[in-house]
């Protein structure tokens, strides 16, 4: 089986806690798992959307909290962990060496805890604001936000490539080819959303939110740490997901 196709299974192993098996994966496989991240996100969003619709009769806040919990259970809080580590490091360090040191620290600090609380509260609130469009927001938010880190890796260096303890080192070998495939996924998902009946201003706003998050955080990460890390990529996913949901609410 070609490495890029075998990577589809491995992408679930990397992004979720779903027991798909397949070990041991050939080393080349990990270089291609990123091309499937948007699809994995879309499937996760579809699962959450199904849970949302299955909870018909409950209040929207209850449904929103439960679908967020489902996402955390399925992914193990993978990206949320990256967000908290990143905010701890960037908020508590003044130079690159200390940023990297704090990123490796498994303990969570006040900055990271506050970031997690705010992000989760805002996610729940935005889903409540979306109401009947929450299933659409879940699918678009989960899928498009997972394309952004892959695209970002195509234009920005990975700062911890030589660190043997980096969990994302192999994934970070993805480059322009993987970024182009992720961009194709974005175009396909946007087209599918249009066919689904999502208003074009909402889709344009979601894409604009992705672009803004990528540019602003990309420049900031480059200045503070000299490139991306696995935690920073998790932060890109979390912040862009919130931006996408906000754009859909505003539309």
Q: What is the pLDDT of residues 71-95, one digit of tens each?
A: 999 999 999 999 999 999 999 888 9
- Quick check: 43 pLDDT over 90? yes
Q: What is the residue whose two structure tokens read 């080393």?
A: 27
What pLDDT band is residue 162 in, cutting at 50, 70 and 90?
low
C-beta neighbour count of 26 within 10 angstroms: 12
**Residue 28: what pLDDT?**
86
What pLDDT band is residue 26 in, cutting at 50, 70 and 90?
confident
- Quick check: 172 pLDDT over 90? no
Q: Which of 107, 109, 126 is nearest to 61 (CA)?
A: 126
Q: Where are the alpha helices (DSSP H) in 55-109?
A: 60-75, 78-92, 96-104
pTM of the model: 0.93
User: What's the sign of the alpha-carbon dihedral 87, 230, 187, 119?
Assistant: negative
CA distance 67 to 45: 9
Q: Which of 237, 96, 241, 218 is nearest to 155 (CA)?
A: 218
User: Dihedrals φ, ψ of 71, to 5°?
Assistant: -60, -40
**Residue 165: what pLDDT?**
61
CA distance 61 to 193: 25
CA distance 3 to 25: 9
**Residue 188: what pLDDT?**
97
**Residue 161: what pLDDT?**
60
CA distance 88 to 3: 36
Q: How far apart are the first and last CA of the chain?
A: 43
Q: How many residues does the chain have?
A: 251
- Determine which helix (DSSP H) or strand (DSSP E) holds 40, and give its type and residue range: helix 37-54
Window from 72-76, 164-168, 190-194, 209-213 with minimum mean pLDDT: 164-168
CA distance 19 to 34: 18
**Residue 164: what pLDDT?**
59
What pLDDT band is residue 2 in, cutting at 50, 70 and 90?
confident
Each as own residue / partner, the long-range contacts of residues 224-227 (CB below 8 Å, 24 or more positions apart, any chain) are: 224/90, 224/96, 224/99, 225/96, 225/99, 225/100, 225/159, 226/96, 226/157, 226/159, 227/156, 227/157, 227/158, 227/159
- Quick check: 239 pLDDT over 90? yes
HSE-up of 1 (CA within 13 Å, CB side)? 12
Q: What is the residue whose two structure tokens read 């498009």?
A: 144
Does 219 or 159 have the greater pLDDT score? 219
Tokens in use for 176? 């322009």
**Residue 168: what pLDDT?**
65
């Amino acid at each position: 089986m070609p490495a890029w196709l075998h990577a589809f299974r491995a992408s679930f192993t990397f992004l979720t806690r779903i027991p798909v098996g397949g070990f041991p994966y050939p080393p080349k496989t990990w270089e291609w798992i990123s091309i499937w991240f948007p699809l994995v996100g879309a499937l996760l969003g579809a699962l959450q959307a199904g849970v949302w619709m299955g909870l018909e009769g409950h209040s929207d806040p209850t449904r929103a909290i439960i679908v967020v919990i489902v996402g955390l259970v399925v992914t193990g809080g993978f990206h949320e962990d990256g967000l908290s580590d990143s905010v701890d490091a960037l908020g508590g360090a003044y130079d690159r060496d200390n940023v990297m040191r704090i990123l490796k620290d498994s303990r969570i600090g006040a900055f990271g805890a506050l970031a997690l609380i705010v992000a989760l509260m805002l996610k729940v609130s935005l889903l409540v604001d979306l109401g009947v469009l929450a299933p659409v927001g879940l699918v678009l938010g989960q899928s498009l936000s997972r394309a952004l880190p892959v695209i970002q890796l195509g234009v920005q260096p990975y700062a911890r490539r030589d660190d043997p303890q980096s969990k994302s080192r192999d994934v970070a070998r993805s480059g322009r080819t993987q970024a182009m495939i992720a961009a194709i996924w974005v175009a396909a998902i946007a087209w599918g959303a249009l066919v689904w009946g999502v208003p074009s201003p909402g889709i344009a706003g979601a894409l604009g939110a992705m672009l803004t998050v990528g540019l602003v955080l990309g420049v900031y990460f480059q200045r503070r740490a000299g490139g991306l890390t696995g935690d920073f990529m998790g932060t890109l996913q979390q912040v862009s997901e919130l931006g996408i949901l906000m754009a859909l609410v505003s539309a």
